[in-house]
């Protein structure tokens, strides 16, 4: 069974949602039969990377609110993250466009390392205060999860995987996704936002039932047919 997750590595609730989903998945009896596919979604495609401003100052400027209000917002998110077992440091978080980070995730997915890339980029942005739009940071992140350094640098020096990022975003628009994280179970059930582990577990269980029903199609009658290899009878 497949679970598709649209996410942006700049989105704090996407990281929180990842942790809550993982807690649910660990309790799911058939977790080894679940394929998790990370999909790209940029909250602000036009964002300009600004290494000289932190996330608190940025949100105050963008939303037109006071520094105190911005700090209170981030304090709330930090507390929610802590409850999920995550350490956020918005004072260090670099305001950075996430497009190249998404391209790295797309590359990692081709090697079965999409989840690892997602995790390390979240950590780099929210905990370590790294610039996720910096090519050296992205290269180091990719190498750390097992990607080839030369392949990463080649990708970053071209427009490789740009189309894959945009395709994910188009698919999100097509199904009406307006915010992330957004989870789609078995192409049938959707969960929006960083819900509780219990909610995710319920979605997994409900989706698994329909998945099993779809697989166990009752064969009414055998008829004439051809099998792979050209055997017809």
pLDDT digits (tens, 9 = 90+) for 97-139: 999 999 999 999 999 999 999 999 999 999 999 999 999 999 9
Q: Do strands 94-95 and 50-54 pair parallel, antiparallel, or not at all (unpaired)?
A: antiparallel
Q: What is the pLDDT of residues 5-33, one digit of tens each?
A: 999 999 999 999 999 999 999 999 999 99
Q: Which pLDDT score is estimated for 210?
A: 87
Record the pTM: 0.90
Are the CB atoms for 121 and 101 separated by under 8 Å?
yes
Whether 217 shows a pLDDT value over 80: the answer reads no
Instruction: For 59-98, write each residue's pLDDT tens digit.
Output: 999 999 999 999 999 999 999 999 999 999 999 999 999 9
Q: Alpha carbon 23 to chain centroid distance?
A: 16
């Amino acid at each position: 069974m497949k679970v598709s997750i649209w996410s942006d590595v700049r989105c704090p609730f996407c990281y929180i949602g990842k942790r809550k989903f993982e807690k649910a998945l660990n309790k799911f009896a058939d977790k080894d039969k679940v394929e998790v596919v990370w999909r790209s979604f940029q909250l602000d495609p036009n964002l300009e990377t600004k290494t000289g401003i932190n996330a608190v100052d940025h949100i105050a400027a963008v939303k037109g609110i006071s520094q105190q209000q911005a700090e209170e917002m981030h304090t709330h998110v930090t507390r929610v993250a802590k409850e999920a077992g995550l350490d956020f440091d918005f004072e260090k978080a670099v305001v950075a466009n996430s497009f190249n980070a998404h391209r790295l995730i797309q590359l990692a997915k081709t090697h079965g390392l999409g989840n690892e890339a997602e995790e390390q980029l979240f950590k780099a942005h929210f905990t370590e205060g790294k610039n996720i739009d910096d090519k050296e940071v992205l290269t180091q992140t990719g190498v750390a999860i097992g990607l080839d350094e030369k392949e990463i640098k080649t990708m970053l020096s071209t427009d490789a995987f740009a189309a894959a990022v945009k395709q994910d975003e188009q698919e999100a628009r097509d199904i009406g996704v307006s915010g992330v994280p957004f989870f789609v179970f078995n192409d049938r059930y959707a969960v929006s936002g960083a819900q509780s582990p219990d909610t995710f577990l319920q979605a997994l269980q409900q989706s698994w039932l329909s998945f099993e029903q779809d697989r166990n199609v009752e064969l009414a009658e055998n008829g004439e047919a051809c099998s792979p290899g050209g055997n017809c009878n």
